[in-house]
């Protein structure tokens, strides 16, 4: 994949991932605070939102690890693409929490 092809591919994947994130946001946080569900769980457990995000990310990382190692790739409930998109989205949520705490 050359540079131009990669740029097009990345742009398409980014659009797909952002659309998926926006669809899921309606389920978890509505149109208000996109980090609300992390804050609520963090408060319930007495930990930081960053810890909650890391825990949520871990399940996707475990699935990605299983896929890469060839364990049950065809039996996954959610396609690997969705798991990878979720992982990227959680990294963005983590960055939002970090930047919010630093401001």
* pLDDT tens sequence across 59-99: 999 989 988 888 765 666 778 899 999 999 999 999 999 99
Separation in Å, CA 19 to CA 4, 56, 85? 23, 20, 10
Q: Where do the structural domains in the chain lie, given as residue ranges?
A: 3-102
Cα–Cα distance between 38 and 54 in angstroms, integer?
10
pTM of structure = 0.83
Output the pLDDT for position 29.
65
pLDDT at 52 over 90: yes
Cα–Cα distance between 24 and 19 in angstroms, integer?
9
């Amino acid at each position: 994949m050359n540079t131009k092809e990669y740029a097009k591919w990345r742009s398409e994947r980014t659009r797909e991932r952002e659309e998926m994130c926006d669809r899921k946001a309606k389920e978890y946080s509505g149109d208000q605070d996109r980090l609300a569900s992390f804050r609520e769980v963090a408060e319930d457990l007495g930990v930081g939102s960053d810890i909650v995000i890391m825990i949520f990310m871990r399940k996707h990382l475990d699935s990605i690890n299983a896929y890469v190692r060839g364990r049950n790739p065809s039996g996954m409930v959610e396609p690997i693409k969705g798991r990878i998109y979720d992982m990227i989205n959680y990294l963005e949520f983590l960055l939002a929490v970090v930047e919010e705490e630093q401001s």
